[in-house]
């Protein structure tokens, strides 16, 4: 029995910023589960994205939506109090951004948020082993971080297999999130392999001919079916 639940977490970095409010509304109407919110500091990655303030505004307007914050910053610990006061629900950071991943994870949890680490394409997935018992989720980058709209790296599928195997070997139950260039063929492969969370972007949810809301419905249905046939 495969009881995987598919979580659609659209990356708001893919919104047209001049139409942000309207596009967020469409995501909600289409049944998106989480908002994936990329926060960049211009140092960990050579780009900027959202300020923390957007988390608070989104949670005020859509309290039922999960705010999944992906920190691409050199000092994740310093963002945590502000993220908490803005209502962030799930927070992930890059393991190579800090010497103190374990302390950062436990601090996130102690604040009442769910905690995760992000694995870059150049890191072995085994990098999570020392902190494997402190994880609510692991974000597997399937592109180099820093920009939306890049193509999914095909060798990520083998890396996902290794991550799923690691989860099983340690008897833990963190969720696996796929972030970067998620498209249909690869998302279906990831669903079959055991990933739960999909950071969706321009290849699935945005800029689709059927519009954002219907594209969200289609994504969820397609992936749910792909997993159901395994049951």
DSSP state of 35: E
Strand partners, 177: 139, 197
CB 31 within 8 A of CB 220: yes
Q: Which of 33, 41, 68, 179 is catalytic?
A: 179
**Count of CB atoms situated within 10 Å of the CB of 165:** 12
Near ligand DX5 in 81-140, by CB under 6 A = none
Among 150, 208, 222, 224, binds ligand DX5 (CB under 6 A): 150
Report if residue 196 touches Zn ion, rule: CB under 5 A. Answer: no
Collapsing DSSP states into helix, strand and coil, what is residue 207?
Answer: coil
- Told to judge if 179 belongs to the known catalytic residues of this protein, a careful annotator would answer yes
Q: Which is nearer to ligand DX5, 50 or 134 (CB)?
A: 50
Q: Which stretch binds ligand DX5 (CB under 6 A): 17-25, 58-66, 76-84, 198-206?
A: 198-206
Distance (Å, whole) CA 85 – CA 113: 11
Report if residue 68 touches Zn ion, rule: CB under 5 A. Answer: no
Among 182, 190, 213, 227, binds ligand DX5 (CB under 6 A): 182
Collapsing DSSP states into helix, strand and coil, what is residue 99?
Answer: coil
Among 26, 38, 41, 196, binds Zn ion (CB under 5 A): 38
Near ligand DX5 in 13-32, by CB under 6 A = 13-14
Nearest to 13 by CA among 32, 45, 43, 35: 35
CB 167 within 8 A of CB 174: yes
Report if residue 11 touches ligand DX5, rule: CB under 6 A. Answer: yes
**Count of CB atoms situated within 10 Å of the CB of 173:** 9
In the chain, what is the straight-line distance between the N-terminal and C-terminal CA atoms, in Å?
5
- 177, two tokens: 């999130």
Report if residue 10 touches ligand DX5, rule: CB under 6 A. Answer: no
Distance (Å, whole) CA 74 – CA 76: 6
Among 68, 179, 186, 190, binds Zn ion (CB under 5 A): 179
Nearest residue to ligand DX5 on Cβ basis: 201
Instruction: Name the site residues for Zn ion (rule: CB under 5 A).
Output: 38, 70, 179
Catalytic residues: 38, 179
The site for ligand DX5 (CB under 6 A) is made up of 11, 13-14, 36, 38, 70, 143, 145-150, 179-182, 199, 201-202
């Amino acid at each position: 029995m495969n009881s995987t639940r598919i979580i659609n977490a659209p990356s708001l970095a893919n919104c047209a910023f001049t139409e942000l409010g309207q596009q967020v509304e469409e995501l909600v109407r289409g049944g998106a589960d989480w908002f994936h919110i990329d926060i960049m500091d211009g140092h960990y990655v050579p780009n900027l994205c959202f300020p923390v303030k957007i988390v608070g505004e989104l949670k005020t307007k859509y309290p039922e939506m999960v705010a999944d914050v992906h920190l691409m910053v050199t000092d994740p610990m310093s963002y945590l109090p502000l993220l908490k006061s803005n209502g962030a629900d799930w927070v992930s950071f890059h393991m190579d951004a800090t010497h103190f991943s374990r302390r950062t994870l436990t601090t996130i949890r102690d604040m009442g948020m769910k905690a995760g680490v992000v694995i870059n394409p150049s890191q072995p997935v085994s990098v999570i082993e020392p902190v494997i018992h402190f994880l609510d989720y692991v974000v597997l980058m399937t592109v180099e971080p820093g920009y939306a709209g890049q193509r999914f790296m095909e060798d990520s599928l083998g890396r996902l297999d290794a991550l799923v195997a690691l989860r099983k070997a340690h008897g833990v139950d963190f969720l696996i999130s796929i972030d970067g260039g998620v498209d249909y063929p690869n998302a279906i492969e990831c669903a079959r392999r055991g990933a739960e969370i999909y950071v969706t972007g321009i290849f699935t949810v945005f800029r689709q001919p059927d519009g954002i809301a219907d594209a969200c419905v289609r994504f969820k249905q397609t992936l749910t079916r792909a997993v159901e046939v395994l049951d």
